[in-house]
Amino acid sequence: MKPRILLIGSTGQVGHELAGILPRVGEVIVPDRSAFDLMRPSDLTRLIQHVHPRMIVNAAAYTAVDLAEKEPDKARAINTEAPAVMAAEAEKLNALLVHYSTDYVFDGSKESPYAEDDPTHPLNVYGRTKLDGEIAIRNSGCEHLILRTAWVYATRGKNFLLTILRLASQREELRIVSDQLGAPTWAREIARATASMLERYAAVAAGDSPATGTFHVTAGGTTNWHAFASAILEEAAKLPGANPWLNAALSGGSIITRRVTPIMTADYPTPARRPPYSVLSNQRLAATYRLQLPEWRDQLKAALASA
């Protein structure tokens, strides 16, 4: 029998892709957003007990990294306290909790890809609240998959890809930081990897112990925001001019940007500090689940082609 999956956060970048792909794995229940708010733990308890899922997939989060510095209580309620409630309920039901976390649990002082068990040290409120969410899940004793990803974008929602395209229709020069390294990851690839992991998990015979715990799930390769912005403009320029998605992303205009200038993080102060290096090693995912996400540039091309 297919497992019942409760999907929380289905309107987000990753959640939207999960809603499309998880039916491959099980019977997906997507609660009406108006019926629950992660700021209210009792909503969550009631929802989980009512659905009685075999798997809870939590793609919801407070993801406004800079605003979190001003709203630490809200970020903590959504990123730490709500996952703690999900974990407690999962433990009671003997359900698997799938939860997403972030490269921002690290401070970026390392110079080679971070492994899952490298020491954490978040530099901002968002990273701190996400790390505390991870800790609450581990401490609950529930069976879990914590999937840390990074630099997430999609062809909808709020993200760097759409911001760059909007600005490209407004400015001749874009000034973008080039001293933060990471791996831009398409939400659809995160959803695909999740579905593959859950299929494997569901197929494991009772009594065996499938691999759970924490995994890094990011695109292959490494880049910086400046190079990513340049790649976005190069790849967008190859799309047919009549592409309705591109037209909307450019707010009906065309690309007028002539120069993408690299700048330093120090030249672009933001309320939240970001790690200078947040490349995650995906070796555990490859060794355990035989999964490897495509290179970041190939993901970008595929995302634009899908739009």
Ligand X SMILES: NC(=O)c1ccc[n+]([C@@H]2O[C@H](COP(=O)([O-])OP(=O)(O)OC[C@H]3O[C@@H](n4cnc5c(N)ncnc54)[C@H](OP(=O)(O)O)[C@@H]3O)[C@@H](O)[C@H]2O)c1
Residues that bind ligand X (CB under 6 A): 9, 11-15, 33, 37-39, 59-63, 78, 100, 102, 130, 149-152, 157, 187
Sequence-separated (6 or more) residues with CB below 8 Å from residue 111 = 277
Q: What are phi and psi of 58, to 5 degrees?
A: -105, 100
- Report, in Å, the least distance between residue 60 CB and ligand X: 3
Exactly one of 100, 104, 126, 289 is catalytic; name it.
126
Comparison of 64 and 255: residue with beta carbon closer to ligand X: 64
C-beta of 21 vs 255, nearer to ligand X = 21
Nearest distance, CB of residue 37 and ligand X, angstroms = 5
Question: What's the closest the beta carbon of residue 189 comes to ligand X, in angstroms?
Answer: 12
Beta bridge partners of 261: 175
Is 114 catalytic? The answer is no
Q: How far is the CB of 276 from ligand X (least distance, A)?
A: 16
**Which residue's CB is nearer to ligand X, number 99 or number 240?**
99
Q: Name which of 102 and 178 has its Cβ closer to ligand X.
A: 102
| Closest to ligand X by CB, 88 or 217 | 217
Q: How far is the CB of 236 from ligand X (least distance, A)?
A: 19
HSE value, Cβ hemisphere, 13 Å, CA-based, for 131: 18
Residue of closest CB approach to ligand X? 12
| Residue 266, number of CB atoms within 10 A of its CB | 8
Residue 12 vs 26, nearer CB to ligand X: 12
* Min CB(53)–ligand X separation in Å: 16
Q: Compute the distance between CA of residue 19 and CA of residue 201 in angstroms, rounded to an integer.
A: 18
DSSP for the chain, please give it: -PPEEEEE-TTSHHHHHHHHHGGGTSEEE---GGG--TT-HHHHHHHHHHH--SEEEE------TTGGGT-HHHHHIIIIIHHHHHHHHHHHHT-EEEEEEEGGGS-S--SSPBPTTSPP--SSHHHHHHHHHHHHHHHHT-EEEEEEE-SEE-SSSS-HHHHHHHHHTT-SEEEEE-S-EE--EEHHHHHHHHHHHHHHHHHSPTTS----EEEE---BS-EEHHHHHHHHHHHHHTS-TT-HHHHHHTTTS-----EEEEE-GGGS--SS---SB--B--HHHHHHH---PPBHHHHHHHHHHH-
- Catalytic sites, residue numbers: 126
